[in-house]
Structure formats: structure tokens, C-alpha cells
Amino acid sequence: MHLLPDTLDAGSAYPLGATFDGLGVNFAVYSANAEKIELCVYDETGRRELKRYPLPEWTDEVWHGYLPDAQPGLVYGFRAHGRYAPEEGHRFNPNKLLLDPYAKQMIGELRWTDAMYGYQVKSPRADLSFDRRDSALTMPK
């Protein structure tokens, strides 16, 4: 895949995960409460983000989109946007890169640092605080 398009097509809500159909890849991820899910596409090393796409559709609590011309082996992750209200069970933090729970393969290794947490570890508010650091460089993809 040489040139990435500006937007994703609608794609399909099922199957979940990344599915190659011979012409591109469909992405589908479940979230009942997210306000937006972004697909982050990386270079082959997983170190440089090439493009970020909002998944354009939400069907039956599944966010989905289709990336034409994408091939198996595409390096990607997700970011989830929504309410950050830990006292109500909502901890959306788009600064934290998420793995696809249906990923068939990953590259890189997890490098555990405080940037992995959605909250500021040393804050007096403890896990009710919000961490703005990007976790992408510490995450496998």
C-alpha cells in the first residue's frame, strides 16, 4: 500500500477485528460507550504513525470502516474517545493506543512505563486523574 486514502469506506460491522477480503481490509471493533474510535496506521516498524482515521460507522455497538488496497500485515492500533468518568466506570483516553482484541499478529514488544496508565500514577487524585501522554511508542501493534 503506497498511498493511503483520506477517509475510510463504511465497511461492515462483522466479523470483528481486521479482515482482508482480497481488495482491502475491513476493521470492526466493539464499544457500546465510545463516542469515536480511530484507526491508527503505522509504518512497518510500528514507530511512525502514517495516518489516523475515524471509523466512520457504528452498527449494533460495533465501530467499523474499510481501508481499500490495504494488505495483510498492516501495522495498526486503535484509539477510543469518550467520557473519562472513572467513578462511573468510563475511562476513555484517546492518548492511549489500544490493541485490536481480535488481532491475528502483532509486532514489537510491550515496554511497561507509567505512560501506559490512563491516569497519572503519582497524582494525589490517584486513578481518578487523567494522563495525557501518548502510549504508542510503548505498545506493540
Consecutive sets of 10 residues in the chain, 141 residues long: mean pLDDT of each?
87 98 98 99 97 99 98 98 96 98 95 92 92 96 97
> Are 132 and 95 a contacting pair, CB within 8 Å?
yes
pLDDT at res. 14: 98
Domain residues for the domain of 26 are 17-108
pTM (global) more than 0.85: yes
User: What's the domain count of the chain?
Assistant: 1
pLDDT at res. 2: 65
**Does residue 90 form part of some domain?**
yes
**Does residue 80 form part of some domain?**
yes
3-class DSSP state for residue 132? coil
Domain of residue 36, CATH code: 2.60.40.10
- What are the cell numbers at 135? 502510549
- What are the cell numbers at 46? 510500528
Measure CA of the first residue to CA of the last residue in the chain; give whole Å: 18
**Does residue 8 form part of some domain?**
no
pLDDT at res. 3: 83
**Does residue 42 form part of some domain?**
yes
pLDDT at res. 1: 55
- Extended strands (E) in 43-98: 49-54, 57-59, 62-68, 75-81, 84-85, 90-91
From CA 110, how far away is CA 138, in angstroms rounded? 6
